């Protein structure tokens, strides 16, 4: 397990829940090292006896990028902020990966400014795992890049496929393009070009177009789209899941009684399968090191899982496999003829 830099000040429940999550993560994995970055006096309040335990190093950062702030402006006005300082540790090779539940735009901007992109990567994107009927589906991008060109989505396909294979454990992930219809020829000019390019590229298991409902059906393990659409899907799915669970559980309690063991089992299983905290965080694929962005509402369990996921990302050498896949894609003359190599 590698060294993970954690933004102690990121999220609605920081620093307390971040510190608790880090402490749980190092207990879970004895090979993990954490560099905990934040306002030292506030972080120490939540450490045992005010001191970091073995394998945790506390690094002071005076400033915090708040959720409501403009990311780029805040990074400029607050140079000693916890996001930039933590992600800078990856650039300096003092850490192998970075985790934050803070301002998503701030994390993406800091990575863009401070962490080099992998060779051949044109744009980084956020790859979010979703639960499906049969396992998991990785949707990329869910918010980092809202104005995509075809080459960006084609690269997202090979990057997300490498992540799904290495970290999630899907041997040969099926890759699809999100569109308004499943048939070839459906969708915007962007979708049509991406479809044509992935159809000829032999580096991924491309199955064609899918529609929104297929994110959860299990028909594909990787679905690519531009960040605007992906972010809408992410937020809509989150809201729908919470509403559905609330209604279903209320009906079960009314019909069978809240103390019924069968009801309790259903409740536990549903929460386990749909809880974002189980995933911890979503990787920003395309940069050196591992960059993981967690939900702003993350509590200790989510932070723990994000830190462990970041360590697993490093252990599985995902970036090496992404770099190999991007190199093969760059050398594919048929793909270049369709989408070019635009920035």
Residues 223 and 300 grouped into a single domain:
no
Whether residue 21 is contained in a domain is answered as yes
Q: Are 286 and 159 in contact (CB under 8 A)?
A: yes
Query: pTM of the full predicted structure?
Result: 0.91
Instruction: Write out the E strands in the chain.
Output: 3-7, 33-38, 56-60, 97-100, 125-131, 136-140, 174-178, 205-210, 222-224, 281-285, 290-294
Residues 158 and 92 grouped into a single domain:
no
**DSSP states along 190-238:** HHHHHHHHHHH-TTSEEEEEE-GGGGTTSS-SEEE--HHHHHHHHHHHH
Whether residue 173 is contained in a domain is answered as yes
Residues 191 and 327 grouped into a single domain:
yes
pLDDT at 316: 93
More confident residue, 280 or 92: 92
For residue 279, name the pLDDT band (cuts at 50, 70, 90). low
For residue 313, name the pLDDT band (cuts at 50, 70, 90). very high
CATH at residue 55: 3.40.718.10
Residues 269 and 308 grouped into a single domain:
no
Whether residue 90 is contained in a domain is answered as yes
Dihedrals φ, ψ of 340, to 5°? 70, -160
**What's the structural domain count of the chain?**
2
Which domain, by its residues, includes 98? 3-121+277-317
Residues 189 and 327 grouped into a single domain:
yes
- Among 122-131, 176-185, 226-235, 273-282, the range scoring the smallest mean pLDDT is 273-282
pLDDT over 70 for what percent of the chain? 95
Whether residue 154 is contained in a domain is answered as yes
> Which residue is listed with tokens 């309690």?
253
| Distance between CA atoms of residues 333 and 331, nearest Å | 6
pLDDT one-digit tens code per residue, 220-277? 999 999 999 999 999 898 888 778 777 877 877 777 766 777 777 777 776 666 665 6
Q: Are 143 and 104 in contact (CB under 8 A)?
A: yes
Whether residue 12 is contained in a domain is answered as yes
pLDDT one-digit tens code per residue, 20-72? 999 999 999 999 999 999 999 999 999 999 999 999 999 999 999 988 888 88
Q: Stretch 286-304: mean pLDDT, rounded?
A: 93
pLDDT at 271: 65
pLDDT at 272: 65
Whether residue 127 is contained in a domain is answered as no
Q: Stretch 133-140: mean pLDDT, rounded?
A: 92
Indicate the Cα dihedral angle 249, 253, 254, 259, nearest 10°.
Answer: 180
Residues 116 and 180 grouped into a single domain:
no
Residues 180 and 237 grouped into a single domain:
yes
> Which residue is listed with tokens 């993981």?
292
Distances (CA, A) of 245 to 30, 161, 249, 271: 36, 30, 6, 8
The answer, yes or no, to whether residue 182 has pLDDT greater than 60, is yes
**DSSP states along 279-323:** T-EEEEETBSSEEEEE-TT--HHHHHHHHHHHHHHHHTTHHHHHH
Indicate the Cα dihedral angle 37, 38, 40, 45, nearest 10°.
Answer: -100
pLDDT at 340: 78
More confident residue, 248 or 13: 13
Burial of 46 (0-12, 13-18, 19+ CB in 10 A): middle
Residues 158 and 198 grouped into a single domain:
yes
| Distance between CA atoms of residues 213 and 202, nearest Å | 26
Q: Are 4 and 34 in contact (CB under 8 A)?
A: yes
Q: What's the farthest any 2 CA atoms get from each other in the chain?
A: 63
pLDDT at 324: 97
pLDDT at 256: 73
Residues 259 and 148 grouped into a single domain:
yes
Query: Comparing C-alpha atoms, which of 148, 147, 194, 192 is closest to residue 175?
Result: 194
Residues 189 and 235 grouped into a single domain:
yes
- Mean pLDDT score across all residues of the chain: 91
The answer, yes or no, to whether residue 152 has pLDDT greater than 90, is yes
Whether residue 261 is contained in a domain is answered as yes
pLDDT at 240: 82
pLDDT at 341: 61
Residues 201 and 335 grouped into a single domain:
yes
Residues 167 and 111 grouped into a single domain:
no
pLDDT at 245: 76
Whether residue 59 is contained in a domain is answered as yes
């Amino acid at each position: 397990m590698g060294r993970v830099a954690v933004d102690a000040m990121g999220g609605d429940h920081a620093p307390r829940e971040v510190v608790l999550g880090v402490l749980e993560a190092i207990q879970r994995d004895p090979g993990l090292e954490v560099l905990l970055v934040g306002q030292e006096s506030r972080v120490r309040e939540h450490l045992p006896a005010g001191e970091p335990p073995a394998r945790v190093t506390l690094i002071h950062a005076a400033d915090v990028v708040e959720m409501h702030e403009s990311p780029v402006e805040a990074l400029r006005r607050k140079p000693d902020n916890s996001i930039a300082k933590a992600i800078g540790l990856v650039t300096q090779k003092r850490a192998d990966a970075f985790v934050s539940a803070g301002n998503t735009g701030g994390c993406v901007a800091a990575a863009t400014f401070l962490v080099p992109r992998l060779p051949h990567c044109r744009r980084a994107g956020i790859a979010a795992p979703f639960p499906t009927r049969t396992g998991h589906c990785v949707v990329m991008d869910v918010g980092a890049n809202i104005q995509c060109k075809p080459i960006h989505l084609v690269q997202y396909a090979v990057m997300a496929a490498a992540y799904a294979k290495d970290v999630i454990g899907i041997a040969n992930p099926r890759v699809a393009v999100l569109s308004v219809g499943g048939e070839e020829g459906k969708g915007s000019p962007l979708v049509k070009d991406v479809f044509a390019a992935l159809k000829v590229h032999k580096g991924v298991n491309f199955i064609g177009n899918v529609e929104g409902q297929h994110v959860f059906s299990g028909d594909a393990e990787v679905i690519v789209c531009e960040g605007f659409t992906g972010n809408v899907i992410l937020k809509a799915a989150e809201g729908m899941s919470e509403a559905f669970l609330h209604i279903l559980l209320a009906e079960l309690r009314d019909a069978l009684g809240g103390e019924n063991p069968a009801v309790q089992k259903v409740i536990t299983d549903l929460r386990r399968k749909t809880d974002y905290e189980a995933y911890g965080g979503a990787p920003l694929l395309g940069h050196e090191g591992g960059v993981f962005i967690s939900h702003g509402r993350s509590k200790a369990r989510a932070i723990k899982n994000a830190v462990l996921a970041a360590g697993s990302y490093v252990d599985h050498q995902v970036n090496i496999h992404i770099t190999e896949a991007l190199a093969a894609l760059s050398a594919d003359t048929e793909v270049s003829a369709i989408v070019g190599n635009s920035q």
